[in-house]
């Protein structure tokens, strides 16, 4: 449907592919590799040189499913000539893998960039000292619905963005990631970090953050619920309400963004989060400048695996000189980590007390 000149089919939803893809060496054999990394690379035609995981049996099982090589040591994996090194490792292991890579190597680091800001700074120092061309895998920026949203904003269909709402009420299967079950930081560091990073890309860096993140009495995962307000001054309101413990059936669950501008608005349903990792169809609707109703944007792909295609495509193209800019380089990703750190600090600080009754 075209209304007032707005053609939803014209919105950009994918990243250009590299002309000559480099081989990819993956570190880690966790569920994210089988659910997203390898499906994306196969779909895009990116060559997978092999994978390494210290759990050799786990690596062999995944490798047999995809018909790829298993490296015996990280040093052997790091010797693949001209490779893109794809770190799908827990955050505490990123630095060790980066240390093992040759100077000047190209790397894509799974988010978060370390477990905390101290580790993120150490990773940044390693990348600088070894002259690594490294980006962090904030792949939500490359989801088809997000690329289309950003294109609509860039073309002026929403006007100036003044409101961003993230509302999630769902049941997340944390047991899929064993290393998270005893981690001290979970919800913001491993999940909402995607939203904080995307908000930074859309709105810039906030002045500060008010946040509260907490667990739930029915399980031992450190944090699974978060409320946060990002301070963008007196014009922009930005709020996140996240509840991963809404385990009362699908009917009233939600996973959505509402983004309002001065002249238009957008609604996104993040279907992947609902019944993860199978997910539900994603939705992008836009009420464009000058329009009279919401218009559905036909989506050409989904967050999984297509965002991982775009994420890797940018890294590949940057390494080949086909993209002038590396999206989410470690220098920029450090600021997302700083925002995460500020949110945890805010959560640990006491709230403003209410005056006592006179």
Domain ranges for the chain, please list them: 24-140+308-327, 144-300
Q: What is the pLDDT of residue 1?
A: 54
| C-alpha span between 108 and 234 (Å, rounded) | 37
3-state secondary structure 213-270: EECCCCCCCCCCEEEEEEEECCCEEEEEEEECECCCCCCCCEEEEEEEECCCEEEEEC
DSSP labels, 12-33 = --SPPPPSSPPPEEEE--SHHI
Parts of the chain with a pLDDT under 50 = none
Read off φ and ψ for residue 227, nearest 5 degrees.
-120, 135
Fold annotation for 144-300: Dihydrodipicolinate Reductase; domain 2 (3.30.360)
pTM: 0.95
Residue 39 region, left (φ>0) first, then alpha (ψ -120 to 50), else beta? Answer: alpha
DSSP 324: S
- SS3 (DSSP) at 104: coil
| C-alpha span between 310 and 44 (Å, rounded) | 9
Beta bridge partners of 255: 168
Q: What is the pLDDT of residue 179?
A: 85
Q: What is the pLDDT of residue 102?
A: 97
Fold annotation for 24-140+308-327: Rossmann fold (3.40.50)
Q: Which two tokens stand for residue 118?
A: 């101290």
> How many CA atoms are closer than 13 Å to the CA of 285, on its beta-carbon side?
13
Q: What is the chain's alpha carbon radius of gyration, rounded to the nearest angstrom?
A: 21
Q: What is the pLDDT of residue 52?
A: 98
Q: What is the pLDDT of residue 226?
A: 98
Query: pLDDT by residue (tens digit) across 294-327?
Result: 999 999 999 999 999 999 999 999 999 999 999 9
Query: pLDDT by residue (tens digit) across 213-244?
Result: 999 999 999 999 999 999 999 999 999 999 99
- SS3 (DSSP) at 275: coil
């Amino acid at each position: 449907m075209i209304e007032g000149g707005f053609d939803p089919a014209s919105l950009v939803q994918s990243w250009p592919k590299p002309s000559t893809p480099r081989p990819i060496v993956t570190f880690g054999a966790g569920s994210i590799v089988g659910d997203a990394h390898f499906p994306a690379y196969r779909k895009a035609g990116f060559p997978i040189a092999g994978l390494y995981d210290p759990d050799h049996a786990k690596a062999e099982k995944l490798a047999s499913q995809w018909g790829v090589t298993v490296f015996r040591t990280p040093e052997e994996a790091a010797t693949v000539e001209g490779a893109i090194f794809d770190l799908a490792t827990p955050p505490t292991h990123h630095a060790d893998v980066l240390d093992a890579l040759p100077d000047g190597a190209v790397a894509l680091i799974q988010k978060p960039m370390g477990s905390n800001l101290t580790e993120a700074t150490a990773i940044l120092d390693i990348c600088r000292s070894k002259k690594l061309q490294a980006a962090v895998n904030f792949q939500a920026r490359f989801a088809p619905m997000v690329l289309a949203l950003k294109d609509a904003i860039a073309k002026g269909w929403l006007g100036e963005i003044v409101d961003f709402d993230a509302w999630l009420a769902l049941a997340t299967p944390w047991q899929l990631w064993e290393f998270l079950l005893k981690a001290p930081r979970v919800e913001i560091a491993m999940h909402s970090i995607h939203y904080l990073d995307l908000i930074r890309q859309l709105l810039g860096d906030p002045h500060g953050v008010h946040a509260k993140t907490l667990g739930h009495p029915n399980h031992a995962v450190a944090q699974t619920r978060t409320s946060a307000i990002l301070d963008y001054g007196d014009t922009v309101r930005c709020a996140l309400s996240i509840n991963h413990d809404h385990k009362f059936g699908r009917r009233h669950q939600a996973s959505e963004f509402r983004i309002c501008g001065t002249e238009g608005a957008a609604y996104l349903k993040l279907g992947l989060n609902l019944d993860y990792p199978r997910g539900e169809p994603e939705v992008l609707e836009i009420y464009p400048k000058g329009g009279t109703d919401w218009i559905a944007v036909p989506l050409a792909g989904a967050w999984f695996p297509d965002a991982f295609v775009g994420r890797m495509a940018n890294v590949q193209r940057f390494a080949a000189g086909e993209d002038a800019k590396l999206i989410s380089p470690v220098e920029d990703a450090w600021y997302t980590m700083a925002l995460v750190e500020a949110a945890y600090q805010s959560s640990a600080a006491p709230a403003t007390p209410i005056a006592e009754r006179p």
